[in-house]
Structure 1
Amino acid sequence: MVLLQQIAYQHPNKDRLFENLNLAVQTHYKTAIIGNNGSGKSTLLKLIAGKLRPASGQLSVESEPYYVPQQFGQYNDLTIAEALQIAEKLRALNQILQGNVSDENLEILNDDWAIEERCESALRQWQLLELDLEQKLESLSGGQKTKVFLAGISIHQPELILMDEPTNHLDLAGRSLLYDFIRTTSSTLLVVSHDRKLLQLLDTMYELSQSGIRTYGGNYEFYTEQKAIEQQALQSELQHAEKSLKKAKEKERETLERQQKLDSRGKKKQDKAGVARIMMNTMRNNAENSTAKVKSMHSDKIEGLSGDLQQVRSKLSGLDQMQFGFQESGLHKGKVLFKANDLNVSYGKTNLWERPLSIQINSGERIAIHGSNGSGKTSLLKVILGELQPESGSIQRTGSTIVYIDQDYSLIDPSKTVYEQALEFNTTSLLEHEVKIRLNRFLFGQETWDKSCSNLSGGERMRLLLCCLTISTAAPDMLILDEPTNNLDIQNSEILTAAINQYHGTILVVSHDEIFLEQIQIDQRINL
Structure 2
Amino acid sequence: MSTPQSSSIILNTLGLTRPDGSVALRNITAVFGLGRTGLIGHNGSGKSTLLRLIAGERAPTSGSITLSGEVGYLPQTLTLDRDTTAADLLGVRHKIDALRAIESGDTSVTHVDTLGEEWDIETRAGAALRSVGLGAGDLDRTVGRLSGGETVLLAIAGLRLRASPISLLDEPTNNLDRDARERLADMVRSWRGTLVTVSHDTALLELMDSTAELHDGQLTVYGGPYSAYREHLAREQEAARQSVRTAEQALTREKRQQIKTETMLARRARTGRAVQESRSEPRIVMGRRASAAQVSSGKLRANSTHRVQDARAGVNTAAARLRADEQIHIDLPDPHIPSGRHLAELRGLNRSFIVQGRERIAITGPNGVGKSTLLDTLVQPVTARRGRASAVAHTERVGYLTQRLDTLNPLASVLDSVQDAAPTVTPGELRNRLARFLIRGDAVERPVHTLSGGERFRVALACVLLADPPPQLLVLDEPTNNLDLGSVDQLVAALGSYRGGLIVVSHDDAFLGRLGIDRRLALSAAGELVEVTE
Choose from 38, 60, 67 the match for 2:67.
60
8 Å Cα contact 1:75/1:83 also seen in 2: no
| Paired AA for residue 225 in structure 2 | N
| Paired AA for residue 485 in structure 1 | T
TM-superposed deviation, 1:32: 1.0
Aligned match of 2:124: 118
TM-aligned CA distance change 1:260 to 1:505, over 3 Å: farther
8 Å Cα contact 2:87/2:139 also seen in 1: yes
| Paired AA for residue 344 in structure 1 | E
8 Å Cα contact 2:169/2:196 also seen in 1: yes
TM-superposed deviation, 1:481: 6.9
| Paired AA for residue 198 in structure 1 | L
8 Å Cα contact 2:364/2:506 also seen in 1: yes
1:97 equivalent to 2:103? Answer yes
SS at the partner of 2:12? Answer: strand
1:229 equivalent to 2:235? Answer yes
Q: Distance in 2 between matches of 1:172 and 1:4?
A: 34
8 Å Cα contact 1:459/1:488 also seen in 2: no
Q: Distance in 2 between matches of 1:291 and 1:178?
A: 73
Q: Distance in 2 between matches of 1:506 and 1:238?
A: 44
TM-aligned CA distance change 1:310 to 1:73, over 3 Å: farther
TM-aligned CA distance change 1:461 to 1:274, over 3 Å: farther
8 Å Cα contact 1:368/1:510 also seen in 2: yes
Kindly provide the CA deviation profile for residues 174-194 of structure 1, in whole angstroms up to 9, marking residues without a partner as x.
434323432454564321111
TM-score by length of 2: 0.67
TM-superposed deviation, 1:109: 0.6
Q: Distance in 1 between matches of 2:132 and 2:168?
A: 18
Higher alpha-carbon deviation: 2-11 or 139-148: 139-148
| Paired AA for residue 257 in structure 2 | K
Aligned match of 2:31: 23
1:344 equivalent to 2:342? Answer no
8 Å Cα contact 1:416/1:453 also seen in 2: no
Choose from 11, 36, 39 the match for 2:42.
36
| Paired AA for residue 37 in structure 1 | N
Choose from 153, 158, 162 the match for 2:168.
162
SS at the partner of 1:354? Answer: coil
SS at the partner of 2:118? Answer: coil
8 Å Cα contact 1:5/1:59 also seen in 2: yes
SS at the partner of 1:224? Answer: helix
| Paired AA for residue 484 in structure 2 | D
TM-aligned CA distance change 1:250 to 1:85, over 3 Å: same
TM-aligned CA distance change 1:366 to 1:137, over 3 Å: closer
Q: Distance in 1 between matches of 2:440 and 2:118?
A: 59
Choose from 152, 156, 159 the match for 1:150.
156
8 Å Cα contact 1:18/1:40 also seen in 2: no
Q: Distance in 2 between matches of 1:100 and 1:403?
A: 52
TM-aligned CA distance change 1:523 to 1:238, over 3 Å: farther
Q: How does 1:130-149 map to 2 (within 5 A)?
A: 133-134=139-140, 137=143, 142-149=148-155
| Paired AA for residue 244 in structure 1 | A
Q: Distance in 1 between matches of 2:42 and 2:256?
A: 38
Q: Distance in 2 between matches of 1:179 and 1:166?
A: 10
| Root-mean-square deviation (Å) | 5.4
8 Å Cα contact 2:166/2:195 also seen in 1: yes
Aligned match of 1:427: none
TM-superposed deviation, 1:34: 1.4
1:370 equivalent to 2:364? Answer yes
TM-superposed deviation, 1:49: 3.0
SS at the partner of 1:111? Answer: coil
TM-superposed deviation, 1:256: 1.7
Aligned match of 1:527: 522
TM-aligned CA distance change 1:141 to 1:253, over 3 Å: farther
1:489 equivalent to 2:484? Answer yes
Choose from 411, 416, 421 the match for 2:432.
421
Q: Distance in 1 between matches of 2:100 and 2:390?
A: 48
Aligned match of 1:433: none
TM-superposed deviation, 1:237: 1.8
Aligned match of 1:48: 54
Q: How does 1:72-83 map to 2 (within 5 A)?
A: 72=78, 79-82=85-88
TM-superposed deviation, 1:108: 1.0
TM-superposed deviation, 1:163: 0.6
SS at the partner of 2:252? Answer: helix
SS at the partner of 1:23? Answer: strand
SS at the partner of 2:271? Answer: helix
TM-aligned CA distance change 1:120 to 1:22, over 3 Å: same
TM-superposed deviation, 1:290: 5.7
| Paired AA for residue 364 in structure 2 | H
8 Å Cα contact 1:405/1:411 also seen in 2: no
SS at the partner of 2:32? Answer: strand
Q: How does 1:376-525 map to 2 (within 5 A)?
A: 378=375, 421=432, 483-493=478-488, 510-517=505-512, 525=520
TM-superposed deviation, 1:496: 5.8
SS at the partner of 1:512? Answer: coil
Q: Distance in 1 between matches of 2:478 and 2:15?
A: 32
Q: Distance in 1 between matches of 2:51 and 2:172?
A: 13
8 Å Cα contact 1:160/1:188 also seen in 2: yes
TM-aligned CA distance change 1:506 to 1:52, over 3 Å: closer
SS at the partner of 1:121? Answer: helix
SS at the partner of 2:234? Answer: helix
Q: Distance in 2 between matches of 1:186 and 1:488?
A: 28
8 Å Cα contact 2:206/2:225 also seen in 1: yes
Percent identical among aligned pairs is: 30
Kindly provide the CA deviation profile for residues 16-57 of structure 1, in whole angstroms up to 9, marking residues without a partner as x.
72324121322xx22211123343322332343344455434
Choose from 206, 215, 230 the match for 2:212.
206
TM-aligned CA distance change 1:360 to 1:415, over 3 Å: closer
SS at the partner of 2:371? Answer: coil
Q: Distance in 2 between matches of 1:459 and 1:248?
A: 46
Q: Distance in 1 between matches of 2:282 and 2:476?
A: 81
Unaligned residue ranges in structure 2 (runs of 5+): 1-6, 380-388, 406-413, 466-471, 524-534
| Paired AA for residue 275 in structure 2 | K
| Paired AA for residue 225 in structure 1 | E
